[in-house]
Chain A
Amino acid sequence: MTQNELKRNCLIGLALAAFALPLVVSSPTYLHILIMLFLFAYMTTSWNLVGGFAGVLPLGHSVFVGIGAYTSTVLWLQYGVSPWIGMIIGGLLSAAVGYLIGKPTLKMRGAYFALSTMAFVEGVRVMVENIDMLGPFKLNGPRGLNIPPLPAQEAGFWSFQFATKEPYYYIALTMLILVLALTYYISHSKFGYYLKSGGEEPEAAQALGVNVASCKVAANVLSAFLTSLAGTFLAQLTLFIYPKSVLTLDLSFELAFIALIGGRGSIAGPVIGALLLRPVSEFSRIYFSDTLPGLHLIILGVVLIVVMLYQPRGLTEPLLGLFDRITAGFIRKPQEDTV
C-alpha cells in the first residue's frame, strides 16, 4: 500500500464511520448538532468555490440561503410543490441572482466586493421584512413562514419531512460528500487552475489566456446555486424560516470565519473549520443565547485573529502536514522490518 492509497483509505473509512454514526448516536440533540455541522461544512465548501479559489471575500452568501429557503417553502405552502423541486428552482433563482450581482461587483477589488455583498444581503433582508405579499407569493414579512408538520405517516421523502433526525442526517452527509467531490473535481480541472491563478495574480493570469472576470462570475453562479440548496434543507429541518434566521449577516460571517480559520481555498479547509467551530457556536447558543446573543461571533473573531497571526493560511495546512507524517510513518515501518 502506498502512502496515497493509505490516505485514500483513511478518508473512505472516515466517510463510512460518518454513515455508521447514527447507529451509535441516537440522541436527537446530538444528531441535530451533527446535521448542522455537515450543513455548515456544505455551505462553506460552496462558499469556498468563490471565496477560496477565486480569491475574493463574499460576505453576503446568506442571501442565497434565504432565496433557497423562501422559494421552496412558498412553493410548498401555496402550491404543494415538493421541496425537492423547490430546492432546484431556488437554486436556479440563486444562480441568476449570483450572476446579476457578480457581474458588476466581481470586477471590484478586495474590500469593495466584500462591502457590496454585505450591502446586498442587508438590503434584501430589509425588503423581505417589509413585504407581506410579493405578487402572488406570501412572504409574511418579519413573522416569516411556518411549515405545518405533517403527521408521521404522511411525512416522507416527497414532502422532505421526516419524523426522526436520521434521514436529515443522511441527506446532509450526502450533500456534503457530493459537494466535496465536485470541489475536488473542479480544483483539478482547467476551471480550477484558472480560478486559483486569477484569484492570486489577475494580470499574470490574463496574460496566460484567462478571462479572470468571467471565471469569477461563473464560480459565483455555481456557488450561489449550491449554497441555495442548503437554504431549502434548513427550512425543512427547522420548519420555520424568517428573515433574521436565513437572510442575515451573522450567517454570512460565520461561513467566512469557518473558511478563513479552516483554510481558504483548500478542499478540507471548510470541513476542518466546521468541525472545530460549529461546537463553539452551538454551545455558546445553548448556554448564552439569552444573556449574550452573538457571543459565538465574538469567540470566532478572537479565534480568527489568533489563527491569522500564527497560521495565516488556516489550520488545514498544519493538520494535513500532521496527517502526512503519520501516514508516512505507517508506510515506512513495515518496509524497515523487511529490510
Chain B
Amino acid sequence: MSLLEIQDMTMQFGGLVAVDNLSLSIEKGKILGLIGPNGAGKSTAFNCVAGVYTPTKGKILFDGEDVTSHKPWDLCKKGMGRTFQIVKPFAALTAMENVMVGAFATTDNRDKAAAKAADVMDMLGLGDKKDLKPGAMTIADRKCLEIAKALATNPKLLLLDEVMAGLRPTEVDEIIEIIRTLKAKGMTIFVIEHIMRAIMALSDEIVVIQFGKKICQGEPEAVACDEKVIKAYLGDDYAPA
C-alpha cells in the first residue's frame, strides 16, 4: 500500500504554474527520488505535500487519508517530517534544544523530549555537538541538525529537500549512509537532490520534473539514460542523435 499518493496536483502562483498536474506515489519503506533542473518546482511540490501551500488543484493522500489543505503542524503530528532546502535552525537555542522542539511532537514531558533528542543526535553522529549553538556548527552539521529535528518528531514519511547540497564528497557519503540506515529501519523517504551520485545510489525509483510537469519516472538506471531527461539537464544540443 502506498504511504503517500499525489493525484493531479497543480500549484499556481499568480500566472506561474510551478507544479503542473503531478501524480506520483510512494510505497511504504521505499525511497523515491525527485529530480529536475533549477526552478522545476520540486520544493514547491514538497511544500504542497507538507501543507505550507494548499495546491490549486489535486489531492494528497497520506496513509490512506485525504490530507489536502491540512496544516503543517497537523501533518507533522500525523507522521510527516521534513527538512528545508535553506536550513532554518533556531539560532538562540542549542543544537539539542533545536531537536527537542521536534521531540515535543511526541511527548509533553521535557525529560522524555531530551532523551529522545539525545538518541536521535547520537544516531546521526551529532552526539558531541549537543550544547553548540547552530551558528557555531559547520554547514554539514547544520544540515544534519535539520534531519535530526525532523526525525525527532517520529515521522513515518521523511521529506528531504537537498540535504546534501554544498557538502564535501566525504560528507555526502556520510549522509547517504544515514539515509540507508533510516531505510533499513523501515522509514519511507521522499528525497529531492541535485547530486546525481547520491540520488542514483539511494532511490528505489526516480521521478523527473521539468517546468512542473513529470517528464519521466522509473528505476535509476532507466531514468539516467532517458533522452528527455538528458535534454532537460543538458539542453537539446547534447541529446543523442
Binding site for B on A (CB under 8 A): 188-190, 193-194, 196-197, 200-201, 203-212, 265
Contact = CB atoms under 8 A, between A and B. Distances in A.
Residue from A193, A194, A200, A209 whose CB has the most chain B CB atoms within 10 Å: A209
A93 B88 CA distance: 38
B84 A206 contact: no
Nearest to A313: B92
Contacts of A204: 84, 88-90, 149
B50 interface: yes
A13 to B, nearest CB: 28
Contacts of A212: 73
A201 B90 contact: yes
B222 interface: no
Given A196-B92, A200-B92, 8 more contacts: A190-B110, A193-B113, A197-B93, A203-B84, A203-B88, A207-B82, A207-B150, A210-B73
Interface stretch (B95-103, B211-219, B225-233): B95-103
Contacts of A209: 73, 76-77, 102, 104-105, 153
Given A193-B100, A193-B101, A196-B93, A201 B76 contact: no
Contacts of A265: 92
Nearest to A203: B88
Interface in B18-36: none
B73 A193 contact: no
A205 B101 contact: yes
Contacts of B37: none
A200 B91 contact: yes
Given A188-B110, A207-B82, A193 B104 contact: yes
Nearest to A265: B92
Contacts of B92: 196, 200, 265
Question: SS class of chain A's interface: helix, strand, loop or mixed?
Answer: helix
A197 B77 CA distance: 17
B71 A190 contact: no
6 contacts: A197-B101, A207-B73, A207-B150, A208-B101, A209-B104, A265-B92
A194 B101 contact: yes
Given A207-B50, A207-B150, A190 B88 contact: no
Given A207-B72, A207-B76, A209-B73, A201 B104 contact: no
Nearest to A215: B73
B108 interface: yes
A205 B82 CA distance: 11
Contacts, number: 75
A94 B108 CA distance: 28
B76 A208 contact: yes
B140 interface: no
B88 A201 contact: yes
B176 interface: no
B172 interface: no
B104 A194 contact: yes
B67 interface: no
Contacts of A206: 52, 71-73, 76
A190 B92 CA distance: 16
Contacts of B72: 203, 206-207
Nearest to A202: B88
B105 A211 contact: no
Nearest to A188: B110
Contact of B101 (A189, A210, A211): A210
A190 B108 CA distance: 6
Contacts of B113: 190, 193
A200 B90 contact: yes
Given A208-B153, A209-B76, A210-B73, A203 B108 contact: no
A224 B91 CA distance: 27
Contacts of A203: 52, 72, 84, 88
Contacts of A207: 50, 72-73, 76, 81-82, 84, 150
B178 to A, nearest CB: 19
Contacts of A196: 90, 92-93
A170 B145 CA distance: 47
A203 B110 CA distance: 22
A211 B90 contact: no
A68 to B, nearest CB: 31
Contacts of B102: 208-209
Residue from A197, A201, A206, A208 whose CB has the most chain B CB atoms within 10 Å: A208
A203 B97 CA distance: 17
Contacts of A211: 71, 73
Contacts of A193: 93, 97, 100-101, 104, 113
